[in-house]
Chain A
Amino acid sequence: DQQVKQNSPSLSVQEGRISILNCDYTNSMFDYFLWYKKYPAEGPTFLISISSIKDKNEDGRFTVFLNKSAKHLSLHIVPSQPGDSAVYFCALPTGNQFYFGTGTSLTVIP
């Protein structure tokens, strides 16, 4: 049973526009939410996180929004740049384990 879902396998956005990546989860036990970015032939790297006591966290061009009642989080990238083209995973830790979403492949078109 998939605890974490990213329903959009891919997304294409024009350079300079906003990219919105979504993540849904099924269990209310998660207290902390992370986004990772992955380039081809590399391991994932941490991007941004949010605690369950907040509904928004911003870091430069990246903002993560959390809607606990809807069990939904989203990552906004504004403005999108070609270097943002990568696969993005949401990751929800519990205990000593992480549950990762299936990933969304973002392509930013110059």
Chain B
Amino acid sequence: NAGVTQTPKFRVLKTGQSMTLLCAQDMNHEYMYWYRQDPGMGLRLIHYSVGEGTTAKGEVPDGYNVSRLKKQNFLLGLESAAPSQTSVYFCASSYLPSGVNEQFFGPGTRLTVL
């Protein structure tokens, strides 16, 4: 089992460029999440999904879009990148709602927007 994988691991963008981060999990989890981690801020939830075809906003959704077309994949898109989106992005998945179950995290994607 690979667990939760993220692609790419690193990326540098110029302001205004777009990109998509891919998260894949092979644990048949229903719930998937995208977080960003910034210094002194902990992890903040961007968007999440409670099943294939569903998405919902988290704490900091502005500037991001997501899609969950397949149960195992959760995509995070930046349509027009801004320097404020420089961060480390983590994807996570869980079998049950987070309230009763731990989340499994991917290794992260380090994004720099110039």
Interface residues of A (CB under 8 A from B): 4, 6, 9, 31-32, 34, 41-46, 49, 89, 93-98, 100-103
Contact = CB atoms under 8 A, between A and B. Distances in A.
A96 B31 contact: yes
A46 B103 contact: yes
Interface residues of B, number: 28
17 contacts: A42-B108, A43-B90, A43-B106, A44-B90, A93-B99, A93-B100, A94-B99, A95-B97, A96-B31, A96-B56, A96-B97, A97-B58, A97-B98, A98-B98, A100-B43, A101-B42, A102-B42
B66 interface: no
B50 A96 contact: yes
A102 B45 contact: no
A9 B45 CA distance: 21
A89 B43 contact: yes
A14 to B, nearest CB: 27
A103 B43 CA distance: 9
Contacts of B58: 97
A97 B45 contact: yes
Interface of B: 4, 31, 33, 35, 40-45, 48, 50, 56, 58-59, 90, 92, 97-100, 102-108
Contact of B100 (A4, A9, A32, A102): A32
Given A43-B90, A43-B105, A98-B98, 5 more contacts: A31-B99, A42-B108, A43-B92, A96-B48, A101-B42
Contacts of B48: 96-97
Contacts of A98: 33, 43, 45, 98, 103
Task: Tell which of B31, B43, B104 has the most Cβ of chain A within 10 Å.
Answer: B43
A34 B99 contact: no
Contacts of B56: 96
A59 B36 CA distance: 29
A10 B40 CA distance: 11
